[in-house]
Amino acid sequence: MIGSLFAGISGLNANATAMTVVGDNIANVNTTAFKSNRSSFANILSQSLGGSGGNDIGRGVDFWGTTPMWSQGSLENTSSPTDLAINGRGFFMLNDANGGRFYSRAGEFNFDRNGDLRNPDGLVVQGYPVTGVAPDGTLALGSLNDLSVPGGGITPPLASNEINAEVNLDAGSTVGNTFTSTVTVYDSLGNNIPVTLTFTNTGVNAWDVAGSVPASAGSGVTLNGAATIPVAFDASGQLTIPAANVNMAMTLTNGAASPQNVTWNLYDASGLNNNSLTGYASPSSTTFLGQDGYPAGSLRGVSFDENGVVDTRDHASFVDCMAGSGATMSDTWRPSTLAVRRRAERKTARPDEVGLSINPGGIRR
């Protein structure tokens, strides 16, 4: 009689615990990144001093424990750009004030007054600062550190050191025909200076090029130390002269550092023609202009892309780190996750546990 009562009571106790697990899953239906638990049960076996027999009766059931359900939670849009979620495997890495390391799937973050990205417990999100951007968009990363985007003061400008221009000069042009292309560069004070390159046809597949800046900014531009330099193409329209990158020196009179030397990239690091200047039988045109400088600015916004890169925006321009268009590298970060989204992850209770669903529209209700 006592054995039968014990077996029944064990079932009540085990299922009462399981109901607690279900209640916990339901209670956390709106908890960011919550992972529901599944209950497991085990049979209590019977054994006598004489050993086990073929007709032994079990002694009831035992609550064996819980198993977290590590399935991907649903992603929901929120009104906060710093609400993040991991799409797939991985964890956010966070540090406390003593340098202790923590891992979390909950991406409910906010910037504090010092510009540190923190969770509600005050732990700082860890990330890799971007120290450089390759021409193909590949990011060079520094050491893991606190993810911080200081927002006070003015970001100093960066003077342009190089320009890239994709220009085609029409092979059908006649002597005396001209074509101009203007690229904006920045001086040491952050002034934007339009530099005009004027190409003048001097013969078959032959041109001269000269540079100029407005009189309000400077007194002249030299290319490899000369006022003009020759440009020549072979029978395939490929550049043969000049045979190396061109040094463009601007004499400035606006108070900025002078002369300002800017490299015009015509060849890659291995010395091969990068095909940015061509002489095909097509109307003369400019398809791309770029440079690596930027003006002074103050932080106006922060955004996260789906690759986990934190982009900052200032009043002068939007910093596009992935395109490498002059990002302020100290303010560009890759969070320590495989991928992040501007969303908050939710984990609902199992469908067989509760008939509830999550309403979109925010991380808090």
Mean pLDDT by 10 residues, the chain (365 residues): 74 88 87 84 70 66 86 80 84 91 89 89 90 78 85 81 96 96 95 96 97 95 96 96 96 96 95 95 94 84 79 49 29 40 32 28 32
Nearest to 208 by CA among 200, 216, 196: 200
Residue 26 CA, chain-centre distance (Å), reads: 35
| pLDDT given for residue 301 in this prediction | 76
Q: Is the dihedral of CA 266, 269, 270, 275 positive or negative?
A: negative
- What pLDDT is stored for residue 42 in this prediction? 86
What kind of fold does domain 162-291 have according to CATH? Tick-borne Encephalitis virus Glycoprotein; domain 1 (2.60.98)
CA dihedral 143, 145, 333, 313 (to 10 degrees): -140
- Nearest partner of 33 among 93, 84, 77, 79, judged by Cα: 84
Query: Domain ranges in the chain?
Result: 2-71, 74-153+305-344, 162-291
* Close Cβ partners of 37 (under 8 Å, ≥ 6 residues apart): 21, 24, 25, 66, 67, 68, 69
Question: Please, is 337 exposed, middle or buried when counting C-beta atoms within 10 Å of its C-beta (0-12, 13-18, 19+)?
Answer: buried
Tell me what pLDDT residue 331 has: 40
Residue 191, pLDDT score: 95
Of the candidates 152, 141, 151, 155, the one whose C-alpha atom is nearest the C-alpha of residue 308 is: 141
Question: Any idea which residue has 């049960």 for tokens?
Answer: 41
The pTM assigned to this predicted structure is 0.56
The vertex-320 CA angle with 363 and 123, nearest 5°, equals: 40
Structure-token pair, residue 288: 């791309």
DSSP 350: P
| Residue 1 confidence (pLDDT) | 62
What pLDDT sits at residue 49? Answer: 54
